[in-house]
Each structure stands twice: as C-alpha cells, then as structure tokens.
C-alpha cells in the first residue's frame, strides 16, 4: 500500500487537472483528505464528559423578553441574515429536483413558506432581512429558475454554491472524475460544515459584513419550525455569543441525534459516531443525554471570517462510503454543528420542540398536511384544537393496521 504522503501527493496532482472546480475547492478538498489520513479524528474520553450547566445550555424560558419598542426590534433585525441549507434533492420522498420545492400545505412549497415568513417580518418592522440559499451543484440550476418568481417580493434573495469535491476511489485513492466519471456521480457536496468556507469563498460574507449584518441564522430548508426568533437574536447580541446551537429535549425518536456536552472546558457536539462502542446505549438513553441538536444555528459573521481566514475550523470528519456503478468510493464530510467548539462564548439554547419540525419522509409530510397542523402567515403551527402534545408515532405502521374497508 502507498504511504499516506504518497497518496496525498498522487491525489494533489490528479486534483490539479480537474478543471470543473475552483482553486479554493481543490485546496479545501486536499486539506480535508490530509486531515482524514492523519487520523486526528479521535474518540472522546468518556470520563471527561460533563453535563452542560444552564449557563452553557440556556433554557429558552429564561431569555429576556424582546424590546417593546418596534424601532429597537427593527435595529435588531437589520443585523440578521437568514441562510437556508438548500443542497438536498427530494429523492428520499420520490421527487426529482430540490427538496425545498415540494408542496407542504395549501399549494405552498418549503421555499414559498420561508419567503412569506421573511416578507412578513420585513413588512411588520420595516427592516431588511435578506435570505441566502446555499445550493449544491445538484440544486443550483433549478433553484435559480425557481427564485425568479419572488422577484417582486420585498426580500433580497442571494444564492451561492457549497463546494463540489470529487469522490475518491477506495482501491487506488484516485478521484473518480479522473477515471472518466465526469458527470454528477463523480462528485459530492461535502456536508453542511462547508457552509462557513463557502460563505467566505463566494464573496457573500464580506458583502454582508459591509452592509452591517452581524449574525446569520442557519437552518435546514425542510425544518418547518426553524423561524426567526427575536428572543434568541436579542440574547446573542446582548451577551456577545459568537455561536448558538438550538437544542431540544430528546424523545425516543431522536436517540441518534448529536448532543451538547462540556468537554475540557468547552462546549462541544457529541455525535454517535464518536462514541466508543461500549457507551452507545448510554448515549442513546434519554436519562443522561437529555437534549439533541436541531441544526438551527446562529453564528456571528465576523467570527466566521476570522476562523475561516485562520483555517481554524477543523471539524470532525464523517466518512461516507458509497458505490458508483460497482466502484467503491469514499466521500468525506463535515457538519456545521461540530464547529461550535471553535467559537468564543458559544452556547446552546434549549428551545421548545415546536422549533424542530423536519420533513424527512413522506410520512412526515402527511402529518404536516393533516389537521394536526394549521398554516398562519407562512408558519406551520400545531392545531390548537389538538390536546395531545405528541405527534402520532409509527404513522405508516398504524396506517397498515387499519382494517380494509
């Protein structure tokens, strides 16, 4: 087997000849692979894990109320940018094209609802909150066409692409596109941890800072509960927190979700992949690890610039093995939540479950289209007539058990 140094050297020269991607993408890719080979992704020492205090994971109901003066609220909102992760396709739900254009309720798509929410915010407070969409090469072209329909809205919409990295052939450590796979299946978007360098490399970060923007609210486009929250924004600005992860109480449906821990004096995301085998059941228990990451993140823009320029965001690497036309390939990814430990005064906020309403499968879509929910001003909210707080579980199994008519 070639040594790691030889592998990297070979990979570098092969990547240099890939004209489809930029120099910053080539550099980012080689850096990610080098980190992966160096084996720096270590498991945590279980005995060092501590449960975060209320100073580190702040209970939502202890946040100060938002200013009563609408002018103060406008000033707060004028510091904000909303960024939706829009790189995913609707394939798991049997659709082609970007997932964000699937209809959710009343003929409105995920993207329609996001635009309506921000339009209402801008109109109500006379502010100018822009919307950023981070696309992947899979969703870029379709998204550009779709957003034309919002050209008359009172909201600035910007798009940028996350990085495009080549899949690596496992057998000989050569990029798949170098072997003739030049179509989309030779490439992959390297996870949402790429949001920070891509924001910088696209020029969007500097443009936002020059307009006086201070915070970005990042969320998945399929999380219907991820709406702008003034109390959270107000808290972060007042307390100078560079990073905030929204967490929410874990149920038995969320046992695999990442959780926040205190580790060697810092707040850190702990994912199931980092847990030693003998502690996996403990990790899944809802007694010890009571919260999980919603992937609603609030991040200071100046801090992103500082850390990206210093190449300091060394998030844990997630190896994702795949197969393309019978060829075993590897793609290396990172997650945005894992960046929490690199930011100053980073916190979690333990938010109500209503801020986490993801639509990952058609069974989730059936729930939000049913009368369990209702639509008000672009917000999908629980139907107040329903007294049971939890959603039905095993929705599809329950449907199968219904007697034939």
Compute the distance between CA of residue 79 and CA of residue 215 in angstroms, rounded to an integer: 6
Residue with tokens 């790691």: 4
When the pLDDT of each residue in the chain is averaged and rounded to a whole number, the result is 91
Compute the distance between CA of residue 31 and CA of residue 28 in angstroms, rounded to an integer: 5
Mean pLDDT, residues 183-199 taken together: 94
Compute the distance between CA of residue 37 and CA of residue 146 in angstroms, rounded to an integer: 40
Residue 58 has pLDDT above 90, yes or no: yes
pLDDT at site 89: 85
Mean pLDDT, residues 17-26 taken together: 93
Residue 401 has pLDDT above 50, yes or no: no
Give the residue from 219, 226, 224, 227 showing the smallest Cα distance to 105. Answer: 224
Pairing of strands 318-324, 327-333: antiparallel
Per the DSSP assignment, residues forming a β-bridge with 248 are 292
Structure-token pair, residue 347: 């916190």
Higher pLDDT, 405 or 221: 221
Residue 39 has pLDDT above 90, yes or no: no
Give the residue from 252, 253, 283, 285 showing the smallest Cα distance to 270. Answer: 283
Write down how long the chain is.
405
Q: Residue 256 contacts by C-beta under 8 Å, 6 or more apart in sequence?
A: 272, 284
pLDDT digits (tens, 9 = 90+) for 64-123: 999 899 999 999 999 999 999 998 888 888 888 899 999 999 999 999 999 999 999 999
Compute the distance between CA of residue 342 and CA of residue 333 in angstroms, rounded to an integer: 18
Compute the distance between CA of residue 297 and CA of residue 254 in angstroms, rounded to an integer: 18
Structure-token pair, residue 383: 């139907």
Residue 207 has pLDDT above 50, yes or no: yes
pLDDT at site 396: 46
Mean pLDDT, residues 329-334 taken together: 94
pTM confidence score: 0.93
* Minimum mean pLDDT range among 17-31, 276-290, 327-341: 276-290
Residue 393's SS3 state is: coil
Compute the distance between CA of residue 144 and CA of residue 287 in angstroms, rounded to an integer: 46
pLDDT at site 392: 75
pLDDT at site 120: 95
């Amino acid at each position: 087997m070639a040594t790691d140094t030889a592998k990297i050297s070979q990979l570098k020269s092969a990547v240099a000849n890939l004209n489809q991607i930029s120099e910053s993408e080539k550099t980012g890719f080689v850096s990610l692979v080098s980190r992966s080979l160096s084996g720096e992704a270590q498991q945590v020492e279980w005995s060092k894990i501590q449960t975060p205090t209320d100073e580190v994971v702040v209970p939502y109901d202890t946040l100060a109320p938002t200013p009563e003066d609408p002018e103060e609220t406008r000033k707060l909102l004028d510091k904000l940018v909303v960024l939706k992760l829009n790189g995913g396709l609707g394939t798991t739900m049997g659709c082609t094209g970007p997932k964000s254009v699937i209809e959710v309720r009343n003929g409105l798509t995920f993207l329609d609802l996001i635009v309506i929410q921000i339009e209402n915010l801008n109109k109500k407070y006379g502010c100018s909150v822009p919307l950023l969409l981070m696309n992947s090469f899979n969703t870029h072209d379709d998204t550009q066409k779709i957003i034309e329909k919002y050209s008359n809205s009172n909201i600035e919409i910007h798009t940028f692409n996350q990085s495009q990295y080549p899949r690596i052939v496992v057998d000989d450590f050569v990029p798949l596109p170098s072997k003739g796979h030049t179509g989309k299946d030779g490439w992959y978007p390297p996870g949402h941890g790429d949001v920070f360098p891509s924001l910088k490399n696209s020029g969007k970060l500097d443009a936002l800072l020059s307009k006086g923007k201070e915070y970005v609210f990042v969320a998945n486009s399929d999380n219907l509960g991820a709406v702008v929250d003034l109390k959270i924004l107000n808290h972060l600005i007042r307390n100078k927190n560079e990073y905030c992860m929204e967490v929410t109480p874990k149920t038995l449906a969320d046992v695999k979700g990442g959780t926040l821990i205190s580790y060697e004096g810092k707040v850190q995301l702990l994912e199931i992949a980092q847990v030693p085998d003998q502690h996996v059941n403990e990790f899944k228990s809802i007694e010890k690890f009571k919260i999980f990451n919603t992937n609603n993140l609030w991040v200071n823009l100046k801090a992103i610039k500082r850390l990206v320029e210093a190449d300091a965001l060394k998030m844990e690497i997630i190896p994702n093995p795949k197969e393309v036309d019978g060829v075993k390939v590897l793609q290396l990814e990172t997650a945005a939540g894992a960046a929490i430990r690199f930011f100053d005064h980073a916190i979690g906020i333990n938010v109500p479950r209503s801020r986490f309403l993801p639509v990952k499968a058609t069974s989730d879509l059936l729930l939000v289209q049913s009368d369990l929910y209702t639509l008000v001003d672009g917000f999908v909210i629980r139907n107040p007539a329903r007294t049971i707080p939890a959603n039905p579980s095993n929705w599809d199994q329950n449907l199968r058990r219904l007697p034939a008519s």
